[in-house]
Amino acid sequence: MSGDIYVGRQFSFVLGQGLCESIRDVAQPLITLRDVLPKYVLKLDPSQFVSGYFRVSQAASTGIDQPTGYTSAKILCGVITSNGRSRVTIISPTHGTKTASLLGTKGATLGDHRSLFSFACDITTVTVSVPSTAQGGDDTLFEYCLWVLPDLTVASSWRDGDIALGYIP
C-alpha cells in the first residue's frame, strides 16, 4: 500500500435496560458514550498499523506481530478481542511484564460475548495464550489491531491537519 493510512476511532458503547438482542432493541439507553468527532482521524504511515486474526489451541501461546520498525521508544496502541478463556501478556520497559486474563464466550449455551482488551504504552512484546482444556481452554479466536500513536499535538499527525487541531490557516 502506498501513501498514508488514515485511522479513525469512534469508540462507543450503549447500556440498555433488559436483555436486548440488537442495539435497535434498546428503548431508552441508560449510558451512552460517543467518543471523538469524525474529523479527528489520524494520519499514519501504513507501516505503523497492523491488524489481523488467528486461532490459538489450548495450552498454546503466540506473539502478535508489531508494526514494521516499531521500537519501545514510541507508544503502541492496541485492541485485542478473544472468544474464550485466554490471557494477554505485555512486556513494557516502563511497566515490566504484566498479564491479564480475558474471558470471552462462544456457542449457543454461553452465548457469543467477546472479551475486550485495550492499552497504549511502550511495548517490547505482546503475547496471547490459551489455558489447557482442563482449565477451560479451547480453540480460541483472537482479533487484534496495533498502531503507533503519533504526536497528537502536531498537524501532520492528523488527516485534517490544522483544522483538526482547531486552527484556521
Partner 1 sequence: MIYTLFVNPELTASPYGATPLDLDDLVEQFPPAGLIRHNVLYYTVQRVMLDNGFSSAIRLIEDSARWQMIICRVVGAAAMSFTSLDWDGITTLTTVVPTQGTKLFPGFAIATPGNISAAFPTIISSQDDTVVDIYTFGLAADNDSALVDNA
Nearer to partner 1, 26 or 60 (CB): 26
Under rule CB under 8 A, residue 91 binds partner 1 = no
- Using CB under 8 A as the binding rule, the residues of this chain from 136 to 165 that contact partner 1 are 136-137, 143, 145, 147, 149, 152-153, 159, 164-165
Shortest reach from residue 122's CB to partner 1, in Å: 9
Strands annotated E in 49-155? 49-56, 61-63, 76-82, 85-92, 96-103, 115-121, 125-129, 140-148
Under rule CB under 8 A, residue 114 binds partner 1 = yes
The answer to whether 66 and 51 are in contact (CB under 8 A) is no
Nearer to partner 1, 8 or 63 (CB): 8
Q: Which of 47, 61, 68, 118 binds partner 1 (CB under 8 A)?
A: 118
Under rule CB under 8 A, residue 5 binds partner 1 = yes
Cell numbers representing residue 10 in the block: 469512534
Count CB atoms within 10 A of the CB of residue 90: 23
Shortest reach from residue 23's CB to partner 1, in Å: 5
Secondary structure class of 4 (helix, strand, coil): coil
Cell numbers representing residue 97 in the block: 511484564
